[in-house]
Amino acid sequence: MSRCYILDALSLPNDTLWFDCFQIMRFGFPGLENVRSFDDYVLSYDRRNRVAYWVFEHLTKESVASNDAVDRAKCEFTEDASLHPFFRSNNSDYKGSGFDRGHLAAAGNHRLNQRHVDQTFLLSNMAPQVGRGFNRDSWNTLEKHVRKLTKKYINVYVCTGPLYLPRKEADGKTYVKYQVIGASNVAVPTHFFKVVVGETDRKELEMEAYVMPNQIIQDKTPITVFQVPPESIERAAGLLFFDRISRDKIKKINGREMKS
């Protein structure tokens, strides 16, 4: 894979790249730590955990449509050279770990050209995910659902990221515990989230929010089981989603009509 051209979102050098970044981030940045802008998605990177805090995408029916000029088989998992070597994950961290290199910005969301899909294979866009039963199954089902939303909405905005949720142990105390892998000590999230806003052709906004545990999930479990109030993710992640939209302007959340 050719080296991707990576830009810091806070120092974009020309008007076109500013426009692309802020079209994706039209409704607000969840946070502003170590933000990086790629051609077709924006990422905030957690240097300590070697996993992104969040990844943001803007999807349309054109960006997710099948494209014979795009070949995923040509993509390679590659270190993100925009990061200091101290803070990168690398392929050797994942080797033998038992975890997949799971996409946050899904490769299937970025089919306009080869460069776009190539950039989704940067390791800064990956997190350790359970393979069978999660990344290759239930999480993939959620990704496909989000792509299908482009048939309903003219614009779909997606924020995806990891969670490290507390759990009460046998001693009655609550702990945040998670595994790390490789020499870089890449954090293995306990859960992952997606928060989605769809915009109709009438400019109406609807939201969906999901949290999935990073574990084997029983086959054919409906994704609606994992819907949660978006506020619960904000509290857990320390982020604010779509904060340029007043919640009273959102017509539906998780399929339920909101009172105006």
Which 8-state DSSP code applies to residue 11? S
Q: Which of 74, 43, 37, 75 is nearest to 56 (CA)?
A: 43
Taking alpha carbons only, the member of 80, 28, 100, 54 closest to residue 192 is: 54
How many Cα atoms sit within 13 Å of 107 on the Cβ side?
A: 23
Burial of 203 (0-12, 13-18, 19+ CB in 10 A): exposed
* Cβ 158 vs Cβ 113: under 8 Å: no
> Is 145 an annotated catalytic residue?
no
Cα 212 from Cα 143, distance rounded (Å):
12
Contacts of 167 (CB under 8 A, 6+ apart): 174, 175, 176, 177, 190
Where do the DSSP E strands lie in 107-223? 126-130, 155-163, 167-168, 174-175, 180-181, 186-187, 191-199, 205-213
Q: How far from chain centre, in Å, is Cα 81?
A: 20
In sequence order, the β-bridge partners of residue 203 are: none
- Which residues touch 139 (CB under 8 Å, ≥6 apart)? 102, 129, 192, 212
Q: Among residues 58, 103, 116, 191, which one is catalytic? A: 103
67 is in an annotated binding site: no
Feature table: binding site for Mg(2+): 135
Residues making up the annotated binding site are: 135
Cite the active site residues: 103
